[in-house]
A and B are shown apart, each in its own frame.
Chain A
Amino acid sequence: MTDKLVITGASKAFPGVKALDDVGLTLKAGSIHALLGENGAGKSTLIKIITGVHRPDAGTVTLDGAPVVFHNPREAIAAGIAAVHQERNLIPRFSVAENIVLERLPGQGGLVDYRAVRADAKRAMAPLGLSLDPDTPVRNLSVAHMQLVEIAKALSLDARLLVLDEPTASITPHETDTLFTLLRGLRDKGVAILFVSHKLDEVFALCDTVTVLRDGKNACPSRPLDALSYGDVVRLMIGRDAQAVRRTERTISGSPVLALKGVSTALGHRNISFSVRAGEILGLYGLVGAGRTELAKSILGVARVTAGGVEVDGKAVNIMSVVEALGTHRIGYVSEDRKHEGLVLMHSVRRNVAVTVWRRLARALGWLPDAAERDTVMPFIERLKVRTPSLAQPVSLLSGGNQQKVSVAKWLAAEVRILIIDEPTVGIDIQTKAYLHELIHELAAAGTAVILISSDMPEMIALADKIVVMAEFEVVGELPNTHDAAGMGEAIMACIHKVEAA
């Protein structure tokens, strides 16, 4: 087989973080190549170099034997590279059909021929068994359908090199099977496919070769997958054997601190019930789009609860705003989206952490002494081992892991009783991840009721005391955690599949 794409010595730095350091990858025509690594290992950066979004600081990219430099995604597409990126890349108000053929709308004289648009779109969706109305606006679709539309769009380019970044994150196993059959067909026709997934069983089922990245470096250069075991791959990804999180002994007190009883929300949740006690870690598991983050925001009063009841300490409450959630009930929320919701990136570490306690620190006339802020913030920064030159450092200049620590620190400073932590370890390094896991245990041991939202199954099984499984904005199962990775994984997926089958 010929080499379709060869990357050698690729490096890329962003302010405060070296995303890629001397990375190589060889992708052969007619093969499916897995690109693996933990969050933050540099997979997305590498993909963005291949698809022309970023240019490497050093290193070469060779396509079909000739060196190439893509200045923008257009040039990569023109060179026959199609991609499904991890972020949603659809125009929400445009129809399914228009999104699929967005940059090559058919028609003459500058005018669009909408009949041809629909026909092209249907042709692109057919191989995936997707039968959506081409005129439906994309924003009315479920997350799974959006993902399938993006895949249809990429496949319709008839590319010779296909990059798929987590294409199965929110689609059902059945849809995944259809996709894999298609991909194998493309491979047999000589297409080179780069496949990124966190689901190792998918990788082993589909891929021929593998490249593993760790902390922006090659943990293994491109090599055949059948010579490796699951354990080998995990070791390559995390740099050591997978090990259990150190669990602190905890007492979980009797009555629930927070209880949801048959809650429905304005965002579309139906009949949600669960409760969490002091010192307990409740895991909320589900695929992307299952409605977990939206549920957290409904508890916080960002969106309305339309039916059922929320109880804090056994008393019915009606939380109307985040101010009330934090001020009255001391409920905190560590956002999954630290860049947009968790932190004010251009502000200093000190201000980012202190924002939750300004009300407590303010003197007469709202005067906020620097010293008071510093004294409050410093212990948390030290405790979380945030690596920052000073408290005045803008958060934007810290690494992803340290940003996440600051994002958590502000809620530690707030001294909340109930803490909702949403995808705490996405995009951060392994050490910080392990550290945050220990911290979550410590918090619970100190009596905080923790709700952990995570799509990372091992993380969920390692941390949670009980796991509430959500799908399509409903609770589809509540399982006590046995901490048996294989058994729990199966039990959780069984809950989700049950709903899909129905």
Chain B
Amino acid sequence: MDLLRTDWFGLLVAFLAGATALALTQPTFLSTFNIYVMLTAFSLSVLVALSQMVILAIGQLNLSVGAIGGLAAIAFAGTMEVWGLPIPLAMLIGVLIGIGCGALNGAVTHLTGLNAFVVTLATLSIFKGITIGITEAQPFYGIPDAVKAFGNARIGFFPYLLFVSGALLLGMLVFMRRAKLGRQLLAVGGNRSAAELSGIHIGKVVIAAHIISGTLAAVAGMLAVARLQLGQPTIGDDWLIESFAAPVIGGAVLAGGHVSVVGTVLGVAIITLINNALVLLNVDPFAVQLLLGALILAAVALSRFRDPP
């Protein structure tokens, strides 16, 4: 009974049931290459989902996750191609862009008291505008071979990309459970005025959450460059729905104060599985969107039932 009340148990059962069904009906599902394809997709999606999850924890939304990822991706690819910067320096610039964009979102939200929805809607447009301005909507093709190789490298079914996102994922797991700042994020999301009256620095916490969100999005953007083998200015354009879907399926409360890293990871896993299944079964890609929408509604309804407000 206690297992049923956790955020992750039902999701794990759903994931295993889906995977088993696919394994039994689709011979290619368990092939090394197919698992590699799924894990590659997972590597990117999980960072995008965690990037949104951190903001949901404080009871806000971040619409600019994709735009930050796109800008970082372009900066990463562009500085290497145009300025010939070494890879580590380009990576550093990408991360700094994530931190900077996040700090901007957090600071504006906190200082103006405006709703994060409006603030990140505006910055989404600003960041995206910069990306298009820099690239003139043309991709950067001159990516160093080492980056391309990293994007394709794998040990069996295990993509190198997963080393990066796996490490960040474990970091987030510890962060949300045991770090003081992680607990403060949830405290601010759970009851803002109580947190403030207890002496928690609200502004610091809000800005920190946005910086973490921006950094995760930036790393996801750079991984996307490695995976695509080019600096595509459209990176991040299609992240929005998934970024909300996985945390919400994973039990996040939109009003803030409760998120689950494990639940979010399983949410990403389920979405990845559905995407893969529809490819294997040759289903129209529009069906993915439809199914995803239905899944979000089902997850929210389930959490209402399991955990009334």
Query: Nearest Cβ distance between residue A260 and chain B, in whole angstroms?
Result: 24
Interfacial chain A residues near B174, Cβ < 8 Å:
111
Given the complex of chains A and B, what is the CA–CA distance between A89 and B187 in angstroms? 11
A382 located at the interface, meaning its Cβ lies under 8 Å from any Cβ of chain B in the complex: no
Given the complex of chains A and B, what is the CA–CA distance between A126 and B21 in angstroms? 55
Bits for B162-206, please: 1 = Cβ < 8 Å to A, else 0.
000000000000100011110100110011011111111100000
Q: A102 and B193 in contact (CB under 8 A), knowing A91-B187, A107-B180, A112-B178?
A: no
Residues B180 and A85 in contact, CB atoms below 8 Å apart: no
Interfacial chain A residues near B191, Cβ < 8 Å:
88-92
Interfacial chain B residues near A93, Cβ < 8 Å:
186, 190, 257-258
Given the complex of chains A and B, what is the CA–CA distance between A82 and B178 in angstroms? 26
- A73's partner among B179, B181, B197 (CB-CB below 8 A) is B197
A254 located at the interface, meaning its Cβ lies under 8 Å from any Cβ of chain B in the complex: no
Given the complex of chains A and B, what is the CA–CA distance between A422 and B197 in angstroms? 28
Q: Which of A72, A78, A103, A114 has the most CB of B within 10 A?
A: A103
| A-B contacts, CB under 8 A, total | 71
A180 located at the interface, meaning its Cβ lies under 8 Å from any Cβ of chain B in the complex: no
Q: A91 and B257 in contact (CB under 8 A), knowing A77-B199, A102-B198?
A: yes
Q: A105 and B183 in contact (CB under 8 A), knowing A89-B191, A91-B191, A93-B257?
A: yes
Interfacial chain B residues near A105, Cβ < 8 Å:
180, 183
Q: Which of B178, B191, B196, B198 has the most CB of A within 10 A?
A: B198
Residues B183 and A98 in contact, CB atoms below 8 Å apart: yes
Quick one: closest B residue to A111, CB to CB? Answer: B178
Quick one: closest B residue to A83, CB to CB? Answer: B197
Chain B contact residues (Cβ within 8 angstroms of A): what range?
A: 20 to 34
Given the complex of chains A and B, what is the CA–CA distance between A290 and B181 in angstroms? 36
A15 located at the interface, meaning its Cβ lies under 8 Å from any Cβ of chain B in the complex: no
Bits for A45-87, please: 1 = Cβ < 8 Å to B, else 0.
0000001010000000000000000001110011000010101
Chain A contact residues (Cβ within 8 angstroms of B): what range?
A: 20 to 34
- A111's partner among B180, B193, B257 (CB-CB below 8 A) is B180
Query: Nearest Cβ distance between residue A267 and chain B, in whole angstroms?
Result: 10
Interfacial chain B residues near A53, Cβ < 8 Å:
197
Given the complex of chains A and B, what is the CA–CA distance between A112 and B184 in angstroms? 11
- B194's partner among A77, A91, A107, A111 (CB-CB below 8 A) is A91
Interfacial chain B residues near A153, Cβ < 8 Å:
198
Interfacial chain A residues near B179, Cβ < 8 Å:
110-112
A204 located at the interface, meaning its Cβ lies under 8 Å from any Cβ of chain B in the complex: no
Given the complex of chains A and B, what is the CA–CA distance between A94 and B200 in angstroms? 15
Interfacial chain B residues near A89, Cβ < 8 Å:
191, 193-194, 197-198
Residues A110 and B186 in contact, CB atoms below 8 Å apart: no
Quick one: closest A residue to B257, CB to CB? Answer: A93
Interfacial chain B residues near A91, Cβ < 8 Å:
186-187, 190-191, 194-195, 257
Bits for A87-129, please: 1 = Cβ < 8 Å to B, else 0.
1111111100010001111010011101000000000000000
Given the complex of chains A and B, what is the CA–CA distance between A107 and B181 in angstroms? 12
Quick one: closest A residue to B196, CB to CB? Answer: A73
Interfacial chain A residues near B200, Cβ < 8 Å:
74, 102-103
Residues A92 and B197 in contact, CB atoms below 8 Å apart: no
Residues A87 and B193 in contact, CB atoms below 8 Å apart: yes
Q: Which of A51, A77, A92 has the most CB of B within 10 A?
A: A92
Quick one: closest B residue to A84, CB to CB? Answer: B197
Q: A112 and B180 in contact (CB under 8 A), knowing A91-B186, A93-B258, A94-B187?
A: yes
Residues B198 and A103 in contact, CB atoms below 8 Å apart: yes
Given the complex of chains A and B, what is the CA–CA distance between A110 and B175 in angstroms? 9
Q: Which residues of B contact A (CB under 8 A)?
A: 174, 178-181, 183, 186-187, 190-191, 193-201, 257-258
Q: List 9 A-B pairs, Cβ < 8 Å.
A: A73-B199, A74-B199, A77-B199, A89-B198, A94-B183, A107-B178, A111-B178, A111-B180, A112-B179
Known interface pairs A92-B190, A112-B183; 8 further A-B residue pairs with C-beta atoms within 8 A, sorted by A's residue number: A74-B200, A87-B193, A89-B191, A91-B187, A93-B257, A104-B199, A110-B180, A112-B178
